[in-house]
Chain A
Amino acid sequence: KVAESHHSHSIEVSSLLPSASCIPSTKVLSNNDDKASLKVVHKHGPCSKLSQDEASAAPTHTEILLQDQSRVKSIHSRLSNSKTSGGKDVKVTDSTTIPAKDGSTVGSGNYIVTVGLGTPKKDLSLIFDTGSDITWTQCQPCARFCYKQKEQIFDPSQSTSYTNISCSSSICNSLTSATGNTPGCASSACVYGIQYGDSSFSVGFFGTEKLTLTSTDAFNNIYFGCGQNNQGLFGGSAGLLGLGRDKLSVVSQTAQKYNKIFSYCLPSSSSSTGFLTFGGSASKNAKFTPLSTISAGPSFYGLDFTGISVGGKKLAISASVFSTAGAIIDSGTVITRLPPAAYSALRASFRNLMSKYPMTKALSILDTCYDFSSYTTISVPKIGFSFSSGIEVDIDATGILYASSISQVCLAFAGNNDATD
């Protein structure tokens, strides 16, 4: 429902809100020797079986954006406190010993995939997250607490392929970099703990298990967290799939087959579907830029942004604005956060080009909002990003606006408070 012109998108206003029913992508997910593809759905959309669970009722847009701000705060905190994290041991029965500033918030604007765990295989819907590393699921007997999830909670005693990791094992110590917390020990079993910025957390036994991605691709002895005390905003999902750069992430653990290659497409709305593919090759029309490393947070995927264009015009932003802050790409953060100087330039240009439309009140962290209730079609300037490699990428029309309702549609960007954030 989008028509393209050179520097703007023409959008039907009715298409700004998701459909009430699922309209799956027409893309055929192929699997072969080199790759394994999974369907991606929005956690709270009609394509997700979790959305039908009354215990995981969708949060409001304001709640989503507040939770997103918690995630962003925790990422900033994790980067600025990286040298002081991991000071305390964790125990299965005591969540309060986990530093609250470490890890990253799960949030609500998240996407899920379904994978198989154990022998025989149990299907579990996990939030996929490029901003964290540990994969975990809730486990029986839920020694302390399990939140309500849609699928049956995984029971390692019913799996012939589950093994606990000993706390004397060197891999147990690897949890410190993957979670930001020193692992604990219970009856010689390694105990992991991860807490997210909104106070959601998971604590449990660190073990290995068979992970089945597709009917043809399964991996034995994948390290994962078997959660015995899990509380927070996981919205009916069974846990998290960690896709960060740490050696304990699923990406690193399957590197022998997929060579640390994965790709995804997030759907245009919560009523459609996307994919997550391990291995394979990029589309022929892909533009590439180097990954960079944030020294304070090496498990994040760093990018070198150099500029922003709005409506075909490059904004006058000094390159140092981007290099001072550094940048990461994160599948678990909803709204892009820009350095303050970059955001104010983007906002001024966008407001200028959208001046014919009536503005309305802010939506949480989003301060540039419009009332489109008198329009059937709107014209929105294209927004593009440039990178140090010289490539320029225009974001899709669906990535420019965030609609709470037709009468409150906002520019889907926000600024950081500090230029060094």
Chain B
Amino acid sequence: VFIFGNVQQKTMEVFYDGSAGKVGFAPGGCS
């Protein structure tokens, strides 16, 4: 598989909603 690793996830807020079956990405999530 294509694996989206943690270096590429840096500083984004990665939001998992397992019930609704979706993932969200928001830039500048750490500050």
* A interface residues (Cβ-Cβ under 8 A, vs B): 25-27, 68, 72, 75-76, 79, 109-111, 130, 245, 251-252, 255, 259-268, 272-275, 282-283, 285-291, 294, 300-301, 303, 305, 322, 325-339, 342, 385, 391, 393-396, 398-399, 402, 412-413, 416, 421
Contact = CB atoms under 8 A, between A and B. Distances in A.
A301 B23 contact: yes
Contacts of B14: 263-265, 329
Contact of B15 (A282, A325, A391, A421): A282
Interface in B1-31: 1-19, 21-31
11 contacts: A26-B31, A75-B1, A251-B18, A263-B13, A266-B12, A282-B26, A286-B15, A330-B4, A333-B3, A394-B27, A396-B11
Contact of B18 (A68, A260, A337): A260
Contact of A336 (B5, B17, B29): B5
A395 B18 contact: no
A285 B7 CA distance: 21
Contact of B22 (A275, A290, A333, A342): A290
Interface of B: 1-19, 21-31
Q: Identify the 8 closest CB pairs spanning chains A and B, nearest first.
A: A260-B18, A286-B24, A327-B2, A265-B29, A283-B26, A286-B26, A282-B15, A333-B5
A266 B9 contact: yes
B14 to A, nearest CB: 6
Given A263-B13, A264-B13, A288 B23 contact: yes
A393 B25 contact: yes
Given A265-B14, A331-B6, 17 more contacts: A25-B31, A259-B17, A263-B24, A266-B11, A268-B11, A282-B26, A286-B13, A286-B15, A288-B24, A290-B21, A290-B23, A300-B1, A301-B23, A332-B6, A336-B3, A336-B7, A393-B12
Given A260-B19, A263-B15, A265-B13, A305 B2 contact: yes
A262 B7 contact: no
A260 B21 CA distance: 10
Contacts of A290: 21-23
Contacts, number: 187
A27 B28 CA distance: 10
Contact of B26 (A252, A287, A331, A416): A287
A326 B3 CA distance: 9
A287 B27 CA distance: 9
B1 A265 contact: no
Contacts of B31: 25-27
Nearest to B30: A265
A330 B5 contact: yes
Contacts of A396: 10-12, 27
A385 to B, nearest CB: 8
Name, among B2, B11, B13, the residue most crowded by chain A CB atoms within 10 Å (CB to CB). B2
A282 B3 contact: no
Nearest to A283: B26
A289 B26 CA distance: 12
B6 A339 contact: no
Contacts of A330: 3-6
Contacts of A294: 1
Contacts of A300: 1
B12 A395 contact: yes
Contacts of B25: 286-287, 289, 391, 393
Contacts of B15: 261, 263, 282-283, 286, 288
A380 to B, nearest CB: 14
